[in-house]
Structure 1
Amino acid sequence: MLTVLVKRIVQSSSERKAVWVLTGGADASSTQLESSLEELYLALKGTVSIYTMDQRGTGKSSPLECEAIDKQVVGAAVDFNAVADCAYSLLSKMDRQPRSYSTSSAAKDVVYLSTSLQTENQEIYVYGSGMGSHLATRVMHLAPKNFKGYVLDGVISEMTKTVAHITSDREAAASQLAALCDNDSTCRSKYGDDLFNVRTMYDAWRTLPTELDVARNACVDLLCGKCKDVKPSDMLRVLLDVGIPMSSKSTLGEIPAVMQRLRRCNEDDANKLRDRLQIPEDKSYYDVWTESRAEREIAFGDARTPSTQMLTQLIKHSELWSNPSPSWDQEQQAIKKSTFGVDQALDYAWHCVLSGNSSDPSCSALEDYGHQLSPSIDFWMISNMKPLLYTEDQYDHNDATIPEGASALIMSGKLDVGDPLSGFDDQHLYMKGDKKRLVLFEGNSHGSGFMSAKPEDHSDCGAMIIASYILAGGDVSHVDESCLSEVPKLEFKTVPLCHPGVCASSKKINVHVKRIVEGNAERKAVWVLTGGADASFPKLESSLEELYLALNDKASIITMDQRGTGKSSPLECEAIDKQASGAAVDFNAVADCAYKLLGKMDGQPHSFSITSAANDVVYVSTPLVSDSQDIFVYGSGMGSFLAARVMHLSPKSFKGYALDRVIGESTGNFAHTSSNREEAATRLAKMGDNDSACRSMYGDDLPDDQTMFDTWRALSAQLDDADNACVDLLCGDCESVAPSDMLRCYWMLAFPLAGHQHAEKSQP
């Protein structure tokens, strides 16, 4: 017997429906799913119970433990001597039955647990993402009673899928991305005369590796310096896997520009690439990547986080690998001929060791992988390899039939790198049964985006479509796909550097916008603005989701990287950009930056003013929000200043303005920060005066006719005249600084009035 951990969110009605959410493989522990489960529960309006589990072999479900690798993060070096030992010991723990941890065993767990946890008249649905779609399809093969619907998201094809050829999957997604750029006039125009009308964008990208390998220019130097140990084309593939990964929706839109800069490679292109990749002047991307990889090789994760490595590799190489295995030498050749391919030496090395056969065609990867490590390790002499892989069962590579009375919803993203569109097409083609519906997301980098591991890839539309399918009782004709028209497409948009009436220039700049789309027809939208030092939105993610939930998904939420920050044509100054807050500022460098930035601004510094940013909000709202939609603006801190400026513009359809932590338009003045702090301190002291417990701490030192702030205001002079232990604590012998100076520093650094700590009763 073994243990399987199950988690459940219980429905709040008597609808008698339940949905299993399955990820499988590397994502098979339920811990990381909790926020997505809550989102689906809300989309289902609490009428459906939601179940998930730690798949057997992961988390708290009788995990396949291998101490040598369990605490490593993904990307850390794998000691295959230890893996061989683990395989041998795990075989005994499995009672020499490795199939007991197969996908079929996990599918039978779902059916077994459903019988134990749910009543017989309850409708059950199964959602699977990525390797979880493979598991969900296996449940379909079992055709259990009461299972009414199957949602396959980011589909792994039963008939044709092999993870032995990731390169071909990535190239397919890249061609889809290139087609989007071909059909976007702004993106296509960036290539100018370099791209003839008869040539596709993907044609240009496909020839880039060869062009780089024979070129001698600043971009080649940037990629690999003297390129003694690696080719420029090798580093291009690393760049598209790690530096500007096409597996992430947040960087997909950058790839066309990066490819064109590498093709054209003038001085500005090389400088922009260096800045974007944060490569020091004296180093190449190869240097930075090598250093980063060396650090990652020895990295360890949180010991409390359950590992899924062994189960993932066992399933991948038993069920999702070509049989017989392809030759690593041949796969290397395919990778080197590609533009977007990735090195798979680690994958092939895993297959070799788990196969237990040192003569397997995959095994030359063991030597290559060992040489990649720093220092290198010779794995060729592993002598204790034992076969851990299991053979196919009756379900492997056989297309499923949708059971009688059930249906299937198949979802995919056109730009999905891991589970490409071909799997979506194959599953539709080979799956038997008529009750199926296909949903395709144009710009998603993984399925519907609902169960993505990356926050920036998350799509609420995926959850809404899944919910409509379940609430309709699995009737595919009633699936509501209307939110697809509202999902922000992967666009290559620009805005004017100078809006009318602000300044004069014909240049364009980029503004990066993010949106959470409303879940109903309320037709409302809220702009969330911070402005200034907080004007880039990654730190806002959790707050945006909180507001969206507070609005019961009745309003779209929109935010942006304000022009000059984040991914919106940033005002970059290398001398200070990498400094931490509070670090010394070299004003000689600042003066140089100011001169250079003036040129980048086309001599129009007003183009980065608050008024310009306010015009961006109005300009961007036009394509994102319909004329019938009410728009509201929330601004906090400097964002309140920006929100008030939008109010000055009086745009149509803007119905409300929420100003939080307000900067007064007529009185706000950063030149007198001290007086602002004194005003806040006065209010804090008054709170202390009105709190008997706080006031009593001062005892007889504070007469009834004296306020707490009177005492504080006199403290500076008293300390400067005193000679006691507190003065020693503040500044020692105080030869170069007065005690009152250090008192002000203390309050600014240890207990900043701008922070949340001022509410603590201990402060007065």
Structure 2
Amino acid sequence: MQVATECALIELPLCYPAIASCHSDRLIQVFVKRMLGNSSRVDKDVWVLQGGPGASSVAMEYMMLDLFTTTNGTANIYTMDHRGTGRSHPLECVAAQASTPGSAEGDAISIDELPACIRDVLFQIDGQTAAFSITSAATDLFMLTKGLRPSSDHNVIVYGASYGTLLVERVMQLGPGHIQGFVLDGVVAQVNHSFAQFDHDINAAGSRFLEKCARNSFCHSKFPDFVTGNIPLGRVLLRIYERLDARLPGGVDGSLCRPAANWTDTPPSNTLRRFLTTLLMSATLRTMIPAVMYRLHRCTREDDHVLTFMQRKIQRPSHGHGRTIVPIHGLVGGDELLEFTPMLYNLIVFSEEWSYPTPSQAEMKRYVESQPFGLGVYDLVPAYCVATNYADAACQAHRPASRTRALPPPFTYARDAYFNRTSTIPLHASVLFLSGTLDPQTEIHHGRAQYAAINGTQKRWIEFPDAPHCTAFQTPMMKGDVHCGVYVVASYVMGYGKLELVNTSCMAKRVPLSFHVPPKIALAYFGTTDAFDGELNVAALDDIAVSLKAVPAISQSTGPNPDSKEMLGSAVYLPIMFIVLAGIVMQRRQRNRADVTAAVVELAPSTLVGQL
């Protein structure tokens, strides 16, 4: 199928009149991309929005193509980069050079670089932080969905993934009479949601995942003594952490599992916990979790070799010695700064999506260290304190001892009338809620709460059993490379937002949850086709020979060194509210696109402004 694709930079106000705390007459450019419908009757516009906050639309392009084909070319498919990220006036530290490869933390922003970065960004935006609020971004979407419609009778449906659901919910609050349908996939609740509680949500989903392992005959067989003894597998994982952190021998050979014990100079459990949590977020890679646990618990010399191979696969060299605040999304090839903008993430999260006042870093850290899963959101507390000028009591411990340099201005904006309030479904519109029951990023209780609280009756809730985050991307089918979530959304689009026409028949054809690691994935990450019991492949043995010689002697020191890290070490890797592509999309398809052509057209910034 031939696909015509157009791209445009559209000029929009930096400050909208309705944003009371924003004052500027400047214009900014916002990036929009669309695939033009090519059937004889194109009567629908579908907008698909990424999350973050701070993630660009790059990850949405696969879904755009899937929706285009499943709606038979009857719809124009749009996406955009939220203002402040990607190609839409990104909030980058250009003068401060904090996110350049040669800076202290490479493309990440360290806590030491953050004050200068804040001053830099504030200078670029005339100090108008409210210009990059959720409401400002939602106003862009309101204006564009209305202004780019070919005619007033064109049906408009807006899809939000992850944090993108909060953006779509904010659009609802603006009263868009021209939008007939809203799809919320991986739902962020509008009331009482906090990124500071993210590790709690991860463990709620993680516990259910491990419970399913314990009830599965194959997975059960790998941990029989614990399962029959009613010891939760989460507790087994905590015992592994305790042994690795203490550098105590264990396993059948009394081995230390040297690779895992030496992952980082900080407690090895920090690295291992974050690594397993990242796996938990992927429908494909989470099957590796029981196998990693099994080998770490058994810990033979062969397990040592396999785990060494895995370590080499996942680690990356450290870029510097400062504390990293929000490392750039690091598992997807391409221009990382184009894909994720950490300063926009900081601005929105610390202004509207945190706990006020902030919990202390020590309190948050104690919780994570008592749990089997977690990314360590506590590492964001120092950045929150810098952005808020150390206003909260818990921030006093992070205030610089030296007062020789003035603090930067606050890097937050005032919360508006829409904050912490639930939307009302607009007249003549409907809302479709999609959620996976094993979603660690937007845990299902948030979606259920939002569904119950939203005002209006034209709504439908659909759960995808055992699915992780974002059903349009993580509900693979037994045949084909289009996910079940896409088929459900497509039926909603083809039914012009009529909830009774939504087709969920694809549920019966989904790939079921399995704890067997596919041989290709096992070979890629374990160096053997049998993730649980296989010996290292000969080629893999050659690959790790140097690494085995280079493993340092195990340190007797138990004192943490916060300056040392490897991949997912002491840094916070936060694929929190956007779609994580780490092996998800690229592994699920290597699509032959010989039959797809894209005519990319760069439109002048002023071309479409007159329609708004």
Give me the TM-score of the superposition, normalised by structure 1.
Answer: 0.58
Amino acid at match of 2:153: N
Higher RCO, Cα 8 Å, sep 6+: 2
Judge which range, 199-208 or 383-392, deviates more: 199-208
Does residue 336 (structure 1) correspond to residue 369 (structure 2)? The answer is yes
Q: Which residue of 1 aligns with 2:597?
A: none
Q: Which residue of 2 aligns with 1:438?
A: 461
Amino acid at match of 1:465: V
Judge which range, 130-139 or 178-187, deviates more: 178-187
Q: 2:179 aligns with which of 129, 147, 152?
A: 147
Structure 1 residue 579 displacement after superposition: 4.6
Q: Which residue of 2 aligns with 1:2?
A: 28
C-alpha distance in 1, partners of 2:538/2:68? 46
Pick closer, same or farther for the CA change 1:225–1:131 going to 2, 3 Å.
closer
Q: How do residues 503-514 of structure 1 correspond to structure 2 at under 5 angstroms?
A: 511-512=518-519
Q: SS of the counterpart of 2:338?
A: coil
C-alpha distance in 2, partners of 1:294/1:153? 37
Does residue 170 (structure 1) correspond to residue 170 (structure 2)? The answer is no
Q: Which residue of 1 aligns with 2:407?
A: 384
Judge which range, 354-363 or 219-228, deviates more: 219-228
Q: Which residue of 1 aligns with 2:551?
A: none
Q: Which residue of 1 aligns with 2:443?
A: 420
Does residue 86 (structure 1) correspond to residue 156 (structure 2)? The answer is no
C-alpha distance in 2, partners of 1:511/1:229? 32
Q: Which residue of 1 aligns with 2:494?
A: 471
Amino acid at match of 1:7: K
Q: SS of the counterpart of 1:147?
A: coil
C-alpha distance in 1, partners of 2:271/2:385? 26
Pick closer, same or farther for the CA change 1:228–1:65 going to 2, 3 Å.
closer
Structure 1 residue 226 displacement after superposition: 8.0
Does residue 56 (structure 1) correspond to residue 113 (structure 2)? The answer is no
C-alpha distance in 2, partners of 1:167/1:30? 26
C-alpha distance in 2, partners of 1:290/1:513? 22
Pick closer, same or farther for the CA change 1:381–1:352 going to 2, 3 Å.
farther
Does residue 483 (structure 1) correspond to residue 509 (structure 2)? The answer is no
Pick closer, same or farther for the CA change 1:160–1:219 going to 2, 3 Å.
farther
Does residue 313 (structure 1) correspond to residue 349 (structure 2)? The answer is no
Does residue 182 (structure 1) correspond to residue 214 (structure 2)? The answer is yes
RMSD: 3.8
Q: 2:536 aligns with which of 572, 587, 593?
A: 572
Pick closer, same or farther for the CA change 1:512–1:472 going to 2, 3 Å.
farther
Q: 1:130 aligns with which of 141, 162, 169?
A: 162
- Checking the alignment, whether the CA contact within 8 Å between 1:410 and 1:437 is kept in structure 2 is yes
Q: How do residues 391-410 of structure 1 correspond to structure 2 at under 5 angstroms?
A: 391-410=414-433
Q: SS of the counterpart of 1:492?
A: coil
Q: Which residue of 2 aligns with 1:450?
A: 473
* 1:398-421 deviation per Cα after TM superposition (whole angstroms, max 9, x unaligned): 111212221111112223222222
How much identity, in percent, do the aligned residues show?
A: 30
Give me the TM-score of the superposition, normalised by structure 2.
Answer: 0.72
Structure 1 residue 307 displacement after superposition: 5.5
Does residue 462 (structure 1) correspond to residue 462 (structure 2)? The answer is no
Q: Which residue of 1 aligns with 2:590?
A: none
C-alpha distance in 2, partners of 1:219/1:480? 53
Amino acid at match of 1:2: I
Amino acid at match of 1:429: A
Structure 2: 5+ residue stretches without partners: 1-26, 476-480, 546-612
C-alpha distance in 1, partners of 2:448/2:403? 40
* 1:525-576 deviation per Cα after TM superposition (whole angstroms, max 9, x unaligned): xxxxxxxxxx9799xxxxxxxxxxxxxxxxxxxxxx9x96486976634576
Q: Which residue of 2 aligns with 1:710?
A: none
Structure 1 residue 103 displacement after superposition: 0.9
Pick closer, same or farther for the CA change 1:487–1:295 going to 2, 3 Å.
farther
Pick closer, same or farther for the CA change 1:293–1:449 going to 2, 3 Å.
farther
- Checking the alignment, whether the CA contact within 8 Å between 1:328 and 1:363 is kept in structure 2 is no
Q: How many residues align?
A: 498
C-alpha distance in 1, partners of 2:188/2:301? 44
Q: SS of the counterpart of 2:114?
A: helix
Q: SS of the counterpart of 1:195?
A: helix
Judge which range, 24-33 or 96-105, deviates more: 24-33
Q: How do residues 16-165 of structure 1 correspond to structure 2 at under 5 angstroms?
A: 16-26=43-53, 28-67=55-94, 68-71=97-100, 76-118=107-149, 119-165=151-197
- Checking the alignment, whether the CA contact within 8 Å between 2:474 and 2:483 is kept in structure 1 is no
Q: SS of the counterpart of 1:4?
A: strand
Pick closer, same or farther for the CA change 1:54–1:363 going to 2, 3 Å.
farther
Q: How do residues 595-674 of structure 1 correspond to structure 2 at under 5 angstroms?
A: none
C-alpha distance in 2, partners of 1:333/1:182? 27
Q: Which residue of 2 aligns with 1:222?
A: 258
Pick closer, same or farther for the CA change 1:366–1:263 going to 2, 3 Å.
farther
Structure 1 residue 220 displacement after superposition: 4.1
* 1:691-718 deviation per Cα after TM superposition (whole angstroms, max 9, x unaligned): xxxxxxxxxxxxxxxxxxxxxxxxxxxx
Structure 1 residue 294 displacement after superposition: 5.3
- Checking the alignment, whether the CA contact within 8 Å between 1:412 and 1:439 is kept in structure 2 is yes
Q: SS of the counterpart of 1:181?
A: helix
Q: SS of the counterpart of 1:408?
A: strand
C-alpha distance in 2, partners of 1:268/1:139? 55
Structure 1 residue 316 displacement after superposition: 1.4
Pick closer, same or farther for the CA change 1:176–1:382 going to 2, 3 Å.
farther
Pick closer, same or farther for the CA change 1:226–1:567 going to 2, 3 Å.
closer
C-alpha distance in 2, partners of 1:205/1:181? 13
Pick closer, same or farther for the CA change 1:512–1:70 going to 2, 3 Å.
same
Pick closer, same or farther for the CA change 1:228–1:36 going to 2, 3 Å.
closer
* 1:436-484 deviation per Cα after TM superposition (whole angstroms, max 9, x unaligned): 22222233332204289xxxxx862111110001111212122111111
Judge which range, 34-43 or 101-110, deviates more: 34-43
- Checking the alignment, whether the CA contact within 8 Å between 2:257 and 2:303 is kept in structure 1 is no
- Checking the alignment, whether the CA contact within 8 Å between 2:234 and 2:372 is kept in structure 1 is no
Structure 1 residue 231 displacement after superposition: 3.5
C-alpha distance in 2, partners of 1:317/1:153? 23
Does residue 349 (structure 1) correspond to residue 378 (structure 2)? The answer is no
- Checking the alignment, whether the CA contact within 8 Å between 1:140 and 1:402 is kept in structure 2 is yes
Does residue 325 (structure 1) correspond to residue 358 (structure 2)? The answer is yes
- Checking the alignment, whether the CA contact within 8 Å between 2:467 and 2:474 is kept in structure 1 is no
Q: 1:234 aligns with which of 270, 288, 295?
A: 270
Q: Which residue of 2 aligns with 1:254?
A: 288
* 1:658-679 deviation per Cα after TM superposition (whole angstroms, max 9, x unaligned): xxxxxxxxxxxxxxxxxxxxxx
Q: Which residue of 1 aligns with 2:5?
A: none
C-alpha distance in 1, partners of 2:474/2:498? 23
Pick closer, same or farther for the CA change 1:568–1:380 going to 2, 3 Å.
farther
Structure 1 residue 262 displacement after superposition: 2.9
Q: How do residues 509-588 of structure 1 correspond to structure 2 at under 5 angstroms?
A: 511-512=518-519, 565=529, 572-573=536-537, 577-579=541-543
Does residue 411 (structure 1) correspond to residue 443 (structure 2)? The answer is no
Q: 1:191 aligns with which of 218, 223, 230?
A: 223
Q: SS of the counterpart of 1:21?
A: strand
Q: SS of the counterpart of 2:500?
A: helix
C-alpha distance in 1, partners of 2:228/2:474? 40
Q: SS of the counterpart of 1:165?
A: helix
Q: Which residue of 2 aligns with 1:670?
A: none
Structure 1 residue 216 displacement after superposition: 3.0
Pick closer, same or farther for the CA change 1:459–1:394 going to 2, 3 Å.
farther
Amino acid at match of 1:135: L
Structure 1 residue 124 displacement after superposition: 0.9
